[in-house]
């Protein structure tokens, strides 16, 4: 549905309530987390919680709050994927050597012939 304002600007209205983005103020986030307002501001400043950019008052989307808490909404939960099965008889090619990759490079260089000598 498209609605025009008196000035001729056209704005799209959401088709359902699931299309509406829920936004919380820093005070609301503090109340939801059971923390102080300054703690929420500190989380935003340190980058643990992302606020909407370019605003004087810190606003956090519901999706960002769920990301911080490690919660996935039931409607958008991603099913667990199992790794693909290996064909029968195939052995994994993981290197189980106790020697690190840097030591292997040094050893391979020391085995090569010096330049200019026969």
Domain of 52 in residue numbering reads as 21-73
31 part of a folded domain: yes
| Cα–Cα distance list, 29 to 13, 26, 54, 83, 100 (Å) | 26, 5, 19, 37, 47
69 part of a folded domain: yes
97 part of a folded domain: no
Cut 0.85: pTM above it = no
Q: What is the pLDDT of residue 61?
A: 92
- Structural domains of the chain, count: 1
CA 60-66-69 angle, to 5 degrees, is: 110
14 part of a folded domain: no
Q: pLDDT for 42-64, tens place per residue?
A: 999 999 999 998 888 899 999 99
Q: pLDDT for 11-23, tens place per residue?
A: 556 666 666 788 9
Greater confidence (97 vs 22) lies with 22
Would strands 23-25 and 59-61 be described as parallel, antiparallel, or unpaired?
A: antiparallel
Task: Kindly report the average pLDDT of the chain as a whole number.
Answer: 75
Distance CA 38, CA 44 (A): 10
Q: What are phi and psi of 80, to 5 degrees?
A: -65, 135
């Amino acid at each position: 549905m498209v609605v025009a304002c008196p000035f001729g600007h056209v704005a799209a209205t959401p088709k359902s309530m699931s299309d509406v983005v829920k936004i919380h103020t820093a005070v609301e986030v503090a109340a939801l987390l059971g923390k102080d307002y300054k703690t929420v501001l500190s989380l935003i400043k340190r980058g643990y919680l992302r606020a909407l950019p370019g605003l004087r008052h810190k606003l956090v989307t519901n999706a960002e709050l769920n990301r911080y808490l490690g919660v996935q909404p039931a409607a958008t939960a991603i099913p667990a994927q199992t790794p693909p099965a290996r064909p029968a008889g195939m052995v994994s090619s993981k290197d189980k050597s106790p020697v690190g990759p840097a030591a292997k490079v040094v050893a391979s260089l020391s085995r090569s012939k010096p330049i200019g000598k026969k």
